[in-house]
Structure 1
Amino acid sequence: MSPMLADRFELNNGSPLGPNYTVLNKLGEGTYGIVYRVRSNDQHGAERAAKVLKLYNNPSNVREDIARRFEREFECARIKSPHLVAATEKGMIKGNPFFVMEYCPNGSAKNWVGRNKPFSDIDRFAQETLLGLKALHENGVIHRDLKPDNILLDALGNAKLTDFGIAGYQNSRMTRVNLFGQAKDIFGTYAYIAPEQANSRVAYKALGPAADMWSFGVTMYEIITGYLPFGALEKDADLGEYMKRASQGTYPPLSRYRGDVPPKWEELIRQCLDHVYRKRISNAEDALNILGFSGVETPDNTFDFYRDMFGLQVMHGEEPGRIYNLSRAVPGGGGEATLGWFDDGNPYTNTLTIVERQTKFVSRYHATIVKDPIKQCWLIKDGQFREKNGIQAWHPSTNGTLVNSEFADHNGLPILPGDIITVGDTTLKVVTRSRY
């Protein structure tokens, strides 16, 4: 494959950015990119932010990977939610990709730290942040870098999540530095990272919504008290002790710093900062309920077993958007389909074949999907019943099959519309359509 070509660019106040925008000023610059405030050239003259990747500043052998991560950030910012900074369009300048997104003039939540905000404001901020996380998680995306700097406030003071440069898909192995991070941000990353994500032995298996809930807990602790929960983190020598305390889950209660802390906040922080990730609160909806925000709309996961199309849509993978129609793969009242890695030399090994050439973490015989006519449900089992080393038996996959971050085994887990299935580094969302 030929190397990606990119030339150095220079944008000043008044410079054009593609045919539709004019640069107003630079908002910030990091190792990999620059963010500008821009104005649209149409009659509305709306202000936007534009993120430009400095692809030219990277060796040619890594440009493709960096550009792919940048494209993924754009895709994350296209998820529909009023609490995510929305990307509107993308383009190229001298071979360097850019995308345009909402401009939030009120800065980041970092400005809230140490301000002793009233809990009426904190509650609203937390609700909006959690709704943003909920939208990401429902699409199989883990933010992985949630912190006050990455929660922006729009003109009306609404909280919106941004900076998906290292956003991971559930149980993805990708571990990278922030696309736009500077050296000083490394402590910021460690300050908010869940302890299991710093442990290479379990980080892959533990990458799920619970990792973001830890970061949310640290973020809210800092906003409420003005301090990080596990001590000062200002120099190299602080890092070891900070991570040790985090791994033990030892921190001062909120009431040490504020006398007006509602009990619900002590409880939520306790559940977010549980150092055992399997015991930690694992979804934004439960956090919203603890804060008293009931009645939050949840997706309808009902479907007609016999009449509706039931399928798996690739959310993250090498064929994004592709839908595997399970109803066609398993016609009639019941049966099963096999799922595994797409083998060019033997493409009919499985009913459903997942293309994964970059990482190849999908097993050749990865999973089995069952249509159960008695229970009128679908379920997925890890592995397949086959011959291996001369033995006919149920053999598990190499890397496991997950449903909403829970590992399936040979007994299987039920799957419903909206569920997120992870096989290797490919993320699939269960979808239905009426009268296929």
Structure 2
Amino acid sequence: ANKTVDEPLGHYAEGLACEPKVPELQSLQRPEEVPDPRTPQVAQEADPPLPGVPEVSEISGLPELDLESGDHHLSILEQLGRGVSGCRVHRCQSTLTPDRVLAGKVLPLGKATFPDMVEDFGKEVAMMRSLPSHAAIVGFHGACSTKRYEESGQRFKAYVMLLELCDMTLESLIRRRSEQQQPFDEAELLHVLKQVAAGLLHLHRHRVLHRDLKSANIWLCSAGSMGSEVTSLAVKIGDFDAAKVGSRAQTPVQTPHFMAPEVAAQPGEAYGPAADVWAFGCVVFEMLELGLPYGEDLTLPQLEAALVAGAGPPLSDRTAAESRAKGVVELMHKCLSKEAAARPTIEEVLNCLEALCRANGQAF
């Protein structure tokens, strides 16, 4: 989530396909319990209606997630963004964490919500709950349901995931630097990339493939410092809509400009962590070029042809990029190797970045 940038989340197109539904999330409502006639029945108190707002609208036929109600502790504040997967992002406060303002990823259960959206939300919650915390991963602070979500004059039941609130995306910073025509220097590149690599290594060590790594899904936080310099920022990987637990995946869900050749060439075939390493190389390209990999002018068929051919995005001025950060350029090209087996592991990437930091006199 973003507390300073009001642009919609998920600037780029979503993946080419959706992950198949998982069997553990039931698409049936819970069976009604038959009351024992010998037991006195206590009337349940309904949520009080809000003045001038219709009663809660519930859509039948959607999967039901086993999330506790957050209505007793959660306040959903202003909307910060809107994603392409049906979610909204709001600033939130909870009496359970009174000293912290959070980002709430909200999925309203309205007419525009489909079963696969609920299933994907449930998978993301389960994955975030199981993943140990890490400094380079957006913090997870729980999930709940609410019957008090308001939109367009209606109240909806909604599911809410509570996350660490960050300042902006790396995509926003890259766009700003592009407008200012101010390339990142080597110290800035290394500061950001070492944290992204550390976060990705944490995911891979816990058998999680991100599958949609890009600058729009990398978040920047001030880390308690008032400094505005890039080297004062904490960098965190977020947006795990497409993430999958396991060492291999089959469904091609990466954003096209960041899709690895093996994913583009053989849809439905298994791929592994090397696809995330390719996407990491594309993030390096974004920071060096201050632009989208392969540019914005290619049609989707042209882009797919380039990906299948295994041609990594070309730098417009490689000499200038190497004059700023030769080691980073060389690392990028290794990550963008056509063959998955030829790419370094993310642990090898991190070791390379550590060596570059030491050579540059930077702490690691």
- Give the structure-1-normalised TM-score: 0.56
Among residues 237, 252, 271, which one is paired with 1:161 in the alignment?
237
- Equivalent residues, number: 271
* 1:31-71 CA distance string (max 9 Å, x none): 42111111233684421111112333456754663443343
Matched, 1:270 2:316: no
- CA–CA distance in structure 1, aligned partners of residues 118 and 312 of structure 2: 42
The answer for the alignment partner of 2:73 in structure 1 is 20
Task: Sort the Cα spacing of 1:43 and 1:275 in 2 relative to 1 into closer, same or farther, 3 A.
Answer: closer
Kindly report which structure 2 residues correspond to 1:25-424, keeping only aligned pairs within 5 A, or say none.
25-30=78-83, 31-41=85-95, 44-57=98-111, 62=116, 65-75=119-129, 78-94=131-147, 95-105=157-167, 107-113=168-174, 114=178, 115-156=182-223, 157-169=233-245, 170-175=247-252, 189-201=255-267, 203-206=268-271, 208-229=272-293, 231-234=294-297, 238-246=299-307, 247-253=309-315, 255-258=318-321, 260-281=323-344, 283-293=345-355
* 1:166-202 CA distance string (max 9 Å, x none): 102321334558xxxxxxxxxxx1111112112335x
- Structure 2: stretches of 5+ with no match in the other structure: 1-25, 31-55, 60-68, 148-156, 224-232, 359-364
Task: Sort the Cα spacing of 1:250 and 1:43 in 2 relative to 1 into closer, same or farther, 3 A.
Answer: closer
Task: Sort the Cα spacing of 1:75 and 1:173 in 2 relative to 1 into closer, same or farther, 3 A.
Answer: farther
Checking the alignment, whether the CA contact within 8 Å between 2:27 and 2:115 is kept in structure 1 is no
Supply the AA of the counterpart residue of 2:327: K
SS at match of 1:69: helix
- CA–CA distance in structure 1, aligned partners of residues 97 and 211 of structure 2: 38
The answer for the alignment partner of 1:299 in structure 2 is none
- Structure 1: stretches of 5+ with no match in the other structure: 10-15, 178-188, 297-436
The answer for the alignment partner of 1:326 in structure 2 is none
Supply the AA of the counterpart residue of 1:276: E
- CA–CA distance in structure 2, aligned partners of residues 116 and 165 of structure 1: 30
CA drift at 1:267: 1.5
Task: Sort the Cα spacing of 1:63 and 1:101 in 2 relative to 1 into closer, same or farther, 3 A.
Answer: closer
SS at match of 1:260: helix
Task: Sort the Cα spacing of 1:3 and 1:64 in 2 relative to 1 into closer, same or farther, 3 A.
Answer: farther
SS at match of 1:149: helix
Checking the alignment, whether the CA contact within 8 Å between 2:194 and 2:354 is kept in structure 1 is no
- CA–CA distance in structure 2, aligned partners of residues 172 and 35 of structure 1: 28
Checking the alignment, whether the CA contact within 8 Å between 2:252 and 2:263 is kept in structure 1 is no
- CA–CA distance in structure 2, aligned partners of residues 56 and 175 of structure 1: 27
SS at match of 1:262: helix
SS at match of 1:93: strand
SS at match of 1:228: coil
- CA–CA distance in structure 2, aligned partners of residues 104 and 155 of structure 1: 8
Of all paired residues, the percent bearing the same amino acid is 23
CA drift at 1:91: 0.6
Supply the AA of the counterpart residue of 1:249: A
- CA–CA distance in structure 1, aligned partners of residues 113 and 286 of structure 2: 38
RMSD: 3.1
Q: Which stretches of structure 1, 4 residues or more, deviate above 6 A after TM superposition?
A: none
Supply the AA of the counterpart residue of 1:29: R
Checking the alignment, whether the CA contact within 8 Å between 2:322 and 2:329 is kept in structure 1 is no
- CA–CA distance in structure 2, aligned partners of residues 44 and 61 of structure 1: 33
- Give the structure-2-normalised TM-score: 0.66
